[in-house]
Structure 1
Amino acid sequence: MRVILTRQPAQAGQIEAGLEQLGYRIGFLPLTDFQLPGDLVQLDEMVSGLHEGAWDRVLFTSPNTIRALVARGWEPANTELHTNIAVTGPGTARVLYYYGATITPWMPTDDASADGILNQFPSGPGRLALPQGKAAGAAMTQGLTERGWDVTHVVAYHTVDYPAAADRALLPAQNGVLTPANLTADDVVVLTAPSAARRWAETVGNVAALIAIGQPTRRAAEHHHIALAATAPSPDAHGIAQVLKRL
């Protein structure tokens, strides 16, 4: 059995490492990619503000928000001296450390869903920076505002079909990625995001099973009439392995 994750090798982390330690062969089938917005004015203004201490807190809801800001010159080690940094999980924290942060950021202790984050996030008042992907919607901004924060929201990146425009891509091009034509009937594909589910619905592929990594991805798969074998009980190697053992 080969386990295929619908993202790029540059996004690999504890999920891939954990599955490999359990003896599974891993492959990467990137269906979506990420690129900077065409208009960079607001993003550049946020970089300047983060360096100048314009906000009391900044919340990163995905690793790509960090990559987008770094691409425009942001230095995490500068910001953490005067601003409390928050992330939504260890994967985002790992990218934050990679780019120079040294102080442990705030993150939710268990539930990393939007509701879980908002239930645990400190209450305002205060000024909060919230860079997000274009597809994120307004739920986090609204929830944080209701918790007393003065939120500055900026679109940091766009999710696009793979591959992104070379001059705006957030992730480096890498060799060894698969295409739908490389899939076999023995492969198990893990849909790693709602956007991947949308793209999979446009892909013709005969595989052994499809797994959703979490409930938002499950809902997207159902919306696009994708037949799932299961949804991982937790969005990590352990949760995916639980499903794989039952296949």
Structure 2
Amino acid sequence: MRAPGARVLVARSPDRAAELVTALRGAGAEPLLLPLIDFELASDQHSLDVAFDALGAGAYAWLVVSSVTTVQALEAKAAERGTTLSNWLPGSLLVATVGPATRRFLEGRGVAVDLAPTGQQSGAGLIDIWPEHQGSVLLPQADIADPRLRRGLEARGASVQTVTAYRTVDYPADPGRSLAVCQPAAPPGAGSHRDNGATVLTPDQAKAEIAAGRLHAVVAASPSAARRIREDLAPLGTCRFVAIGRSTAAEAESLGLSVASTAAEPTASGLVAAVIRALASQPSTPHQPVAEPPAKDTI
């Protein structure tokens, strides 16, 4: 599958877009980046410290990780204690995750994953396969995390403690609070790729490119990104909106954006396939945005 000459806007920062940038280039497309959201340390560090210490002491049967950013927040806590996340976690702990990117990130850090959905790779997919009555669960999340994952686990009999692991903010984060600044050195072969050579646009530049018809697709990798795309870039005209998954697509549609394609799986290859499907479809008239976006969002 190829997308020769297509100019594709990826709503991610350079350090989080390397794999997708490479995959798009491999398909013949020209990726451009539009950083919209960033991540800062949680405001309540005390609660996170207490939960993290309890985690290391074996107080939980399960750790549920729903994003790469959560792993980074936990890594920062381990680094504060002079160790690594894999060494901090007790051997008896079971680890569950939602998507393949988070699983690879954990395994690249030496943390084995015991449970992950293979069908619907989302919080709902994890709830579907969750074994009933499995004891205590620590669920570290973003400050704006959707409560449905917690509720679903509790409905399956789990005793869930949630804790805010990080804050989601407009890009760029405050340098003094940035989660990226607090990251320990990545292990060999698992490093970040801050300089991937892709052109980085501002929202004004991206809007001008869309208005001129010079962008063929825009990729949103989270519901938050969908909301910011609506706020900063709409109307999209002939630029096709591509969503990483169902929750992102649902958020976009609730905001009046026309979703041209949704990735079958939340991976770089899945997103590239979705971009190619979107570009192969006939242009559709964009929906008019609604007056107010939803109050809740997830990452």
Fold-level similarity (TM above 0.5) = yes
Q: Deviations over 1:210-242 (max 9, x none)?
A: 222222112222222223434344432333333
Amino acid at match of 2:117: P
Q: Post-superposition shift, 1:194?
A: 0.9
Q: Distance in 2 between matches of 1:144 and 1:167?
A: 35
Root-mean-square deviation (Å): 2.4
* Aligned twin of 1:201: 230
Deviations 1:103-132 (A, max 9, x none): 344211111132221011222231111111
SS of the aligned residue for 1:96 comes to helix
Taking structure 2 as the reference length, the TM-score comes to 0.74
- Higher mean alpha-carbon deviation, 4-13 vs 140-149, is at 4-13
Matched position secondary structure for 1:132:
strand
Query: Structure 2: which amino acid aligns with 1:169?
Result: S
- The letter for the 2-side match of 1:213 is I
Post-superposition CA distance 1:163-198 (Å, at most 9, x none): 111122223595653212333222121122111111
Moved over 4 A (4+): 172-176
State the Cα deviation string for residues 48-67 of structure 1 (Å, max 9, x = none): 12222111110101111111
Partner of residue 239, structure 1: 274
User: Are 1:166 and 2:195 matched, yes or no?
Assistant: no
Q: Secondary structure at the match of 1:70?
A: helix
Cα 1:26–1:204 change in 2 (3 A) is closer
Please, which of 65, 80, 94 is the counterpart of residue 84 of structure 1? Answer: 94
Q: Is the 8 A contact 1:31 1:162 kept in 2?
A: yes
* Length, aligned pairs only: 246
Gaps of 5+ in 2: 1-5, 182-192, 283-299
Equivalent residue number for residue 186 of structure 1 = 214
Are the aligned partners of 1:214 and 1:231 in contact in 2 as well (CA < 8 Å)?
A: yes
Residue aligning to 1:150: 159
Q: 1:58 and 2:63 equivalent? A: yes
Per the TM alignment, residue 14 of structure 1 is displaced from its structure 2 partner at its CA by 4.4
In the superposition, the TM-score normalised over structure 1's length comes to: 0.88
Q: 1:202 and 1:102, CA in 2 relative to 1: closer, same or farther beyond 3 A?
A: closer
Asked if structure 2 preserves the Cα contact closer than 8 Å seen for 1:13 and 1:91, the reply is: no
Structure 1: distance between partners of 2:131 and 2:162: 18
Q: Distance in 1 between matches of 2:120 and 2:246?
A: 12
8 Å CA contact 1:193, 1:217 repeated in 2: yes
Aligned residue number for residue 255 of structure 2: 224
Q: Contact 2:12–2:36 (CA<8 Å) still a contact in 1? A: yes
Cα distance change, pair 233–97 in 1 and its aligned pair in 2 (3 A): closer
